Structure 1
Amino acid sequence: MRWLTLGMGCLLLSGCVDPELGELDRRLSDIRNDPGTPAPLEMPEVPQHEAMPYRESDRRSPFRPELPEPEEGPTGSSNLAPDPERPREPLEAFELASLDLVGVLTMSGESHALVKAPGGEVYRLRTGNYLGRNHGRIVSIADASIQLVELVSTGGGGWVERTAQMTLEDD
């Protein structure tokens, strides 16, 4: 049995010998010594296209939500227009949504709201102070919220009052 296994192993190993292995080595050394020049690549002709002008810039972007149709609402009153001579307060430079109510202090019966600006600075405000870009005036300060009255332009020279509220957020 041992001799049979040894004989079969030799027979199998003899099948791995290639008589033309020397020819392969010679051919590979020829290629290594003289790689030649690569075949030229033929690039296909690139077709020229006429530029099309974009004419849809006046239409609604498909990536933004549709705006509701303007309703026939109050035309507003020019008597409500904000005072252009009034000095602006620092928080009027920010949108109301970007401001955060972070606390309410009550000292000697007077309430003060602590409002944080987008830069991280905290301001102490009281009733009558202004904040937000729509001329928002604080009309009342409660334990966890402040009430504002904003003046919003109707676009036709009129102004309307709009109430807004900021609440103390729990983080």
Structure 2
Amino acid sequence: MSLMNRRECVIGSALLLTMLVGCGDPQLSALEGELESLRGRPSGQVQELPPQPVYHPVTYDMADARSPFQSRLPEPEEELTAVDNGVRPDLDRAREPLEAWPMEQLSMVGTLDVDGTRSALILTPAQEVQRVRVGNHMGSNFGRIVRIGDTQLDMIEIVPNGQGGWIERTRAMALAEPVQKGG
């Protein structure tokens, strides 16, 4: 045997001897006695488990119904028939330049009186000033100018009524406040 193998054998033997000495503990015999007395006692009775209930699967028949987690859909309304009140836009009329923009993008910046005829000056989003008179059209809702005053113009728009027809609605455009430049 080589020196290395002999050393390993000595170390292994020493460990085995140490472990065997540990097993000779006097408390170990007391533990063995206690276990024997416990084994000698009568054992208790474990109650039987109650019978397991029979599982009856339930089928969900409401899969095609409305989910309770979604809001109710409104009931469909009755078919509304369009009431012909004679109001409708003239779709054959040539569109005027100011009808290219909605009214919210146009502003009245002044008035002009020439030979007793009043005109309004309208500023477009393209920063151009257009001159309009009573009878001209502007805005995207077929608006027709009916009056031009010193500080506002009045018009009538033709808008859908939500029932397949049209209604007239009055609208006014006030003279815009002048913009202060500088400080």
The aligned counterpart of 1:35 is none
Which letter does structure 1 place at the counterpart of 2:113? T
The aligned counterpart of 2:172 is 165
Cα distance in structure 2, aligned partners of 1:119 and 1:95: 13
Runs (4 or more) in structure 1 with deviation over 4 Å come to none
Larger Rg belongs to: 2
For structure 2, list consecutive stretches of 5 or more residues without a partner in the other structure.
1-70, 72-81, 179-183
Greater CA deviation, 82-91 or 154-163?
154-163
The aligned counterpart of 1:53 is none
- State, as a whole percentage, how many aligned pairs show the same letter: 43
Q: TM-score, normalised by structure 2?
A: 0.51
Which letter does structure 1 place at the counterpart of 2:167? V
Please say if 1:126 is aligned against 2:128: no
The aligned counterpart of 2:147 is 140
The alpha-carbon deviation at position 144 of structure 1 amounts to 1.0
> What is the total number of aligned residue pairs between the two structures?
98
The aligned counterpart of 1:96 is 103
Cα distance in structure 2, aligned partners of 1:118 and 1:141: 21
The alpha-carbon deviation at position 107 of structure 1 amounts to 1.1
Q: TM-score, normalised by structure 1?
A: 0.54
Give CA-to-partner distance per residue, 1:22-41, whole Å, 9 cap, x none. Answer: xxxxxxxxxxxxxxxxxxxx
Secondary structure of the 2:177 match is coil
Cα distance in structure 1, aligned partners of 2:83 and 2:167: 5
> Contact conserved, 1:144 with 1:168, CA < 8 A, in 2?
yes
Secondary structure of the 1:148 match is strand
Cα distance in structure 2, aligned partners of 1:162 and 1:118: 24
Which letter does structure 2 place at the counterpart of 1:160? I
The alpha-carbon deviation at position 170 of structure 1 amounts to 1.7
For structure 1, list consecutive stretches of 5 or more residues without a partner in the other structure.
1-58, 60-74
> Contact conserved, 1:76 with 1:158, CA < 8 A, in 2?
yes
